[in-house]
Amino acid sequence: MTPVIELKNVSKTYEIKKNKVTKALQGVDLVVEPEDFVAIMGPSGSGKSTLLHILGLLDRHFDGSYFLNGQDIKKLSKDELADLRGEEIGFVFQRFNLLKRTSVMDNILLPTVYLPKKDDQKRAWELMEKLGIKELVDNKSNEISGGEVQRVAIARGLIMKPSLLLADESTGNIDTKTAHQIMEILRQINKEGTTILLITHEEEIAQYADRIIRLRDGRFEEREQS
């Protein structure tokens, strides 16, 4: 089976000052199979965000290779990358997850503005039902709680039926109880077949994943969950 993610010797260097560079990622290899639930942990500055941006096709200026569902992303144009990102990857960010003063429904349907499909509305209703936010459909994003915001963001991340859901510190801004509820939802979504890659610095949250990969100074230290 083709892996969803296949990173080969990926490195990323930033020039922070003239003639002074910092290595965010150093020769990273990673394979994520379909239906995997992977957590990437690491302290601040370990390269987590850089990795997420590369995996999310937001940054293509790196050394090494990245195959998403077998496609070499370095061979794709900017527009092709945007299409692939829209179709294959769902994002759940820690902050600035929803459009301000926009309804829950419109937030969920945001990716479909750029890649419309026939049953968008039906799928949105199904996701809202599943995530328990149906009654919020007409609420504006500034009228709902932090936990509800993340549920809406998950619904938006799944609206295009992506093969990969990237969650970047998705529980960072919410209370512990709600954070566990969100993680239960992600776990359920993973069981239904969506590959999830979670970035977190919280050990407790990472325990929901099948695999935890630790990132330190731009390098991996991997261990399997029991």
Binding site for other proteins (CB under 8 A): 53, 56, 58-59, 78-79, 82-83, 85-87, 91, 93, 96-97, 99-102, 106, 109-116, 156, 160
Minimum CB separation from other proteins for residue 23, in Å? Answer: 17
DSSP string, 6-68: EEEEEEEEEEEETTEEEEEEEEEEEEE-TT-EEEEE--TTSSHHHHHHHHTTS----EEEEEE
Cα–Cα nearest to 60, from 51, 73, 47, 72:
73
Edge-to-edge order in the sheet of strand 219-224: 89-92, 164-168, 195-200, 37-41, 211-216, 219-224
- Give the residue among 146, 190, 148, 144 at the shortest CA–CA distance from 167: 190
Q: Which is nearer to other proteins, 41 or 109 (CB)?
A: 109
Reported as type and span, the H/E element at residue 196 is: strand 195-200
Min separation Cβ 100 and other proteins, Å: 7
64 or 86: whose CB is closer to other proteins?
Answer: 86
87/126 with CB nearer other proteins: 87
The nearer residue to other proteins, 96 or 226, going by C-beta atoms, is: 96
Q: How far is the CB of 50 from other proteins (least distance, A)?
A: 9
Check: CB of residue 222 under 8 Å from CB of residue 49.
no
Question: Which CB atom, from 39 or from 166, has the smaller least distance to other proteins?
Answer: 166
CB of 226 to other proteins, least distance (A): 34
Cα separation, 154 vs 92, whole angstroms:
6
Which CB atom, from 79 or from 135, has the smaller least distance to other proteins? 79
Shortest distance, CB of residue 210 to other proteins, whole angstroms?
A: 25
Closest separation between CB of residue 90 and other proteins, Å?
8
Identify the three-state secondary structure at position 72: strand
